[in-house]
A and B are shown apart, each in its own frame.
Chain A
Amino acid sequence: MSEPVIDAVDVVKFLGRGAGRLQALKGVNLSLRGGELVLLMGPSGSGKTTLLSILGCLMTPTSGMVRVRGRPVANLDPEALAKIRRDHVGFIFQSYHLFPTLTAEDNVRLALDVRGERSQSKAARDVLGMVGLAHKTKAFPHELSGGEQQRVAIARAIVGKASAILADEPTGALDAQNGQAIMTLLAEFAKDQSRGVLVVTHDPRILPFANRIVHIEDGCIVGEEVVREAKRMSMS
């Protein structure tokens, strides 16, 4: 089995202050390994997004430990956390979060630009070709459909060859056909043994793409199921 790309050990997270303080995560243990696509499912308010934020180094846990590629990320300052994100994590958001004033190609290039990489244009065009948007490299987000925008967001997440792709409801704003296409791309990416994909979702239509499904409720992992290839085939 591949090494964990990201793993969380006994992660506890309190949010808010004073009377509004609440415990969003209550000792969560979760690993994302290379070569797997994990679905994180649970009802609203169960702690999915908080867990995703902590795994993606957008947030630090109140207690417990998170390791990215084996390196503990506790007590790192915001700049150090940003460096871990740009080196190891690619994000995909439900509302895409593309830059409206930049073309598809420039949106993808941004992920390389923040890493200080050169030869960005060719790499960006190559990745846009991989997600089926070779003909839309010069299009602005408002000229693209929702599915196309999400493909650009995927291209942005994978262009830097991140170890982990963390996706927050990536199909939430898409129709069934576009949702399937997006998940196919992510599943393809997760075949690489050095990379893992974690998808937070409510969408049952994407279950067939998962290698593993983790259920979270009230800040605790309440169940986990490994989906065998045969079952995946039958579900699809």
Chain B
Amino acid sequence: MTLLKFRLAYRNLFHDRLRFIATIVGIIFSIVLVTVQMGLYVGFRRMVTTMIDHSPADLWIMPAGTKCFEDPSLLDDRQRFRALAVDGVAEAAPVVIGYAQWRLPGGTTTPVFIVGSELQGFGLRPWSLVGGRVDDLSVPGAVAIDQYYFERLGVSEIGASAEIRDQKVQLMAVTKGIRAFTTTPYVFANVDRARLYTGMLPNKASYFLVRVSPGSEVGKVGRQLQESLPDVEVLTAAGFRSRSRNFWLFGTGAGAALFAGALLGFIVGTVIVAQTLYSSTKDHLNEFATLRAIGSSGAYIYMVIIWQALLSAIIGFCGAAGISSMVVRITADTALPIVVPPAMLFALFLLTVVMCVASAIAAIVQVMRIDPATVLVR
């Protein structure tokens, strides 16, 4: 690549500054739109599996047909004992989930989502604690919530009281960053108390978390469990994660909507850049014809146009990345944060480049039609 080709490209591009600015603004908004949609997708994808991601389970036992973690139904303790009898199963801990009403000190109520588990040893315990300890939740009526929901649940500090299903509860631990995409606050409690709050019988549970003995193969133990418990489903953590994501992202149509938004952004960006490159090429057609007349190859001219496209992509992407990082920061503490991992940022850069280079096709087609002899009659 020679510098002159690049210089010709950027001078052609910067020659009409107003048009150039309009193009860059178009690219920025297009990429920001794609970033927001994809960031929401990634954020959503993470949030819908947050409980599964933070569980220590190798295998999950659940009622047949469970679609996602928040899909409550019942298992029986007898199934747990049968599971424990299977070779390779070290532990099978019950987890209770369900919706309940949280009564604020003023008497009003708000729905919460109870997550109850064994708090000593193996279980689904709250994480990212910023106040109190998990052990503090052993006290009857002790619960943990995320500090994000303090105002909504009418509490402001550890020791604060409220009621769930006419049972007094006391805030004994506080987490940071455990938010539900359904916007219903998670309330962590001891498994027995969770049964009380959700109205579940003492011998019932929503899931059994299975820890496989050291040296046992997870897949094999899973198959044996499934044979032993034909009326339930046994999934690995990855399998349950995948099922939950598929349900929320594609079963509900939410993922398709996010993808459609991203696709729309991509199309809009492509059209904007294509329009600019096309009109820029048209403006400089005489120059391209001169280049052809003095013997430049077609590839030389295409490279000039592609450089224009790449320059647009790089400048547009930098602007979009700046705005997107602000959006990410602003939404970081919301119920559905936009998440842009480094790999996605890189992918978005490649997408911008692809979009801009694809946009150059119309201009290249136009240049291919140039008759160099026209320079003699102009």
From known contacts A58-B372, A58-B373, infer whether A83 and B295 are also in contact, taking CB-CB under 8 Å: yes
Q: Is the CB of A113 within 8 A of B376?
A: no
Instruction: Give the A-B pair count, Cβ closer than 8 A.
Output: 83
Q: Is the CB of B375 within 8 A of A87?
A: no
Q: Is the CB of B286 within 8 A of A86?
A: no
From known contacts A59-B373, A97-B375, infer whether A85 and B294 are also in contact, taking CB-CB under 8 Å: yes
How far is A85 from B5 in the complex, measured between Cα atoms in Å?
19
A102: which of B2, B7, B295, B377 is its contact (CB, 8 Å)? B7
Q: Is the CB of B286 within 8 A of A97?
A: yes
Which of A2-10, A104-112, A191-199, A220-228 is near enough to bind chain B?
A104-112
Residues of A within 8 A of B300 (CB): 113-114
B295: which of A52, A93, A115 is its contact (CB, 8 Å)? A115
Q: Is A156 an interface residue (CB 8 A)?
A: yes
Q: Is A78 an interface residue (CB 8 A)?
A: yes
B298: which of A52, A78, A106, A120 is its contact (CB, 8 Å)? A78
Q: What per-residue 1/0 map shows which CB atoms of B271-302 lie under 8 Å from chain A? A: 00000000000000011001111111110100
Q: Is the CB of B293 within 8 A of A85?
A: yes
Q: Is A168 an interface residue (CB 8 A)?
A: yes
Q: What per-residue 1/0 map shows which CB atoms of A66-99 lie under 8 Å from chain B? A: 0000000000001100111111011101010101
A99: which of B2, B290, B293 is its contact (CB, 8 Å)? B290
Q: Is the CB of A120 within 8 A of B375?
A: no
How far is A99 from B289 in the complex, measured between Cα atoms in Å?
11
Q: Is the CB of A86 within 8 A of B295?
A: yes
Range of interface residues on A (Cβ < 8 Å): 20 to 34
How far is A210 from B235 in the complex, measured between Cα atoms in Å?
93
How far is A158 from B193 in the complex, measured between Cα atoms in Å?
93
From known contacts A58-B373, A101-B12, A102-B11, infer whether A83 and B5 are also in contact, taking CB-CB under 8 Å: no
Q: Is B15 an interface residue (CB 8 A)?
A: yes
> Which of A85, A87, A91, A113 has the most C-beta atoms of chain B within 10 angstroms of its own C-beta?
A113
Considering only CB atoms, which chain A residue lies closest to B299 in the complex?
A79
Q: Is the CB of B292 within 8 A of A49?
A: no
Q: Is the CB of A49 within 8 A of B297?
A: no
Residues of B within 8 A of A101 (CB): 8, 11-12, 15
Residues of B within 8 A of A106 (CB): 4, 7-8
Find residues 295-319 in chain B having any chain A CB closer than 8 Å to their own CB: 295-298, 300
Tell me how far the C-beta of A70 lies from the nearest C-beta in chain B, rounded to whole angstroms.
19
Q: Is the CB of B292 within 8 A of A82?
A: yes
Q: What per-residue 1/0 map shows which CB atoms of B43-75 lie under 8 Å from chain A? A: 000000000000000000000000000000000
Residues of B within 8 A of A82 (CB): 292, 295-298, 372
